Structure 1
């Protein structure tokens, strides 16, 4: 089988309780991130063909505890049947809480980057959760590891997943990886078909050379980013992806159709609201 079908979800921002958190103002009845994740997974169940896997590319939980990751895991187990789920961490994830709550490994110091084979395609997961400021970077250890991995082509090609996109868009490239050029220098002229990301809460698809860059919508809330401000809206969505010998095709699924902006911050205000 040359074709691989998968669902790309990102920026779920799950918490058991949003009261007192940074996200409290955006949570409304029947429209909180947990409800949106459940709705998305139920939507996946209704697809005409079961996907080969589900990818969740970071900010799984919003500055949470181990119990929040247990809750996140329970939602997945309750609503995903016989589909592998691969997770990536983002800048709002807490590594120790993830290992304890999601993976059941207290005090784990394992690496968060890895590779796995899926029907001849190689999925490469990188960790860009550099710190909690929102800045994304793939460190030198991972870059060296990646360069070594890509020396041997996969049977059908490679897909790279990293929370922060290689390019954020026409404005505010501060949301992109700080060392995108270093990463690109490694994946250029390799078997990498595409790079999949999240972080911006805005869907974007572009190309750098022969490599497709696909950033999915968040299912927690949407974002409109300018050079001065960040707006939160109720746009949510995910990506249906098909990769074959012709490359990666991405279909965006969005809801609702009519978008309502419910919060707006200048970047200075946003930084002041972030946990210290």
Structure 2
């Protein structure tokens, strides 16, 4: 099974630029085209939050317009720039999304079980899973401790070292880690939020964050570093599950590059 991951497109209303600088809508359309042009079409597309920039209805209308081009079934979780009820309304045709409360869900229709966690407290930018969400996750994980499972949440549950991102990290992540550590079949935890690829051993598994389809958060590790971003490099993640070899993840850069050449 091949799973493509796109994250943090920050879609805007028609004619509006993200941060007044970049055409995030065009960039997301290009990212979708990139995924569809791969030499093996993914079986599933997952979107790990911040689908839109301000949570406005017209932004979600644009998101659905752009996603109408996808010939790959897709699953969604919210990010801190999404608004839960507007998000729920925009994807009301996605039956796996709960009709009320946090947008936690489980889809078990594929070779890999997919679990989505809503890590976004209303009106806040940091991440948090409350006690009810942790209990829900523990129950879902306990139902099957064998089938390969992929867990998604928007906020990476660790400290990245980039100070202006860590201010909005997933808070009190130890409780979440304790729950995940009890599930030996969680192959991978997928996140967005940081607009970069990061990897960390965590909870007995591996956490992987996905680059944004728009901008890249600058890699600055000084504690007094000011917030900065770059336009590019953009990318997506590809997660390949094989019964014999397990899960392998690849970064796929979006854009035109020299080649291919006849060597490897």
Give the TM bin, normalised by the shorter chain.
0.7 to 0.9
**Which residue does 2:176 correspond to in 1?**
183
TM-score normalised over the length of structure 1:
0.81
Classify the secondary structure of the residue corresponding to 1:26.
coil
Confirm or deny: 8 A CA contact 2:154 2:192 kept in the other structure.
yes
Query: Cα deviations across residues 52-77 of structure 1 (Å, max 9, x unaligned)?
Result: 10000000011132222121011111
State the distance in 1 between where 2:160 and 2:227 align. Answer: 14
Find the partner of 2:46 among 51, 55, 58: 55
Confirm or deny: 8 A CA contact 1:54 1:85 kept in the other structure.
yes
Classify the secondary structure of the residue corresponding to 2:108.
strand
Say if 1:144 and 1:229 are closer, same or farther in 2 by CA, change over 3 A. Answer: same
State the distance in 1 between where 2:87 and 2:47 align. Answer: 14
Q: Is it true that 1:87 corresponds to 2:76 in the alignment?
A: yes
Find the partner of 1:151 among 142, 147, 168: 142
Q: Is it true that 1:26 corresponds to 2:21 in the alignment?
A: yes
**Which residue does 1:272 correspond to in 2?**
none
Confirm or deny: 8 A CA contact 2:236 2:254 kept in the other structure.
no
Q: CA RMSD in A?
A: 2.3
Q: Is it true that 1:125 corresponds to 2:116 in the alignment?
A: yes
**Which residue does 1:100 correspond to in 2?**
89
Query: Cα deviations across residues 4-62 of structure 1 (Å, max 9, x unaligned)?
Result: 2110110010011465x8x34322xxxx1111111111111111112110000000011
More strand by proportion, 1 or 2?
Answer: 1
State the distance in 2 between where 1:104 and 1:53 align. Answer: 17
Say if 1:144 and 1:138 are closer, same or farther in 2 by CA, change over 3 A. Answer: same
Aligned residues: 245
* Higher mean C-alpha displacement, 172-181 vs 183-192: 172-181
Give the deviation of 1:234 after TM superposition: 1.0
Q: Is it true that 1:248 corresponds to 2:230 in the alignment?
A: no
State the distance in 2 between where 1:42 and 1:239 align. Answer: 14
Deviation beyond 6 Å, 4+ runs, structure 1: none
Find the partner of 1:167 among 137, 154, 158: 158
Note the 1:1-40 alignment, pairs <5 A: 4-17=1-14, 19=16, 23-27=18-22, 32-40=23-31
Say if 1:111 and 1:176 are closer, same or farther in 2 by CA, change over 3 A. Answer: closer
State the distance in 1 between where 2:19 and 2:182 align. Answer: 45
Give the deviation of 1:168 after TM superposition: 3.9
Say if 1:45 and 1:256 are closer, same or farther in 2 by CA, change over 3 A. Answer: closer
State the distance in 1 between where 2:228 and 2:159 align. Answer: 16
Say if 1:165 and 1:18 are closer, same or farther in 2 by CA, change over 3 A. Answer: farther
**Which residue does 2:201 correspond to in 1?**
207
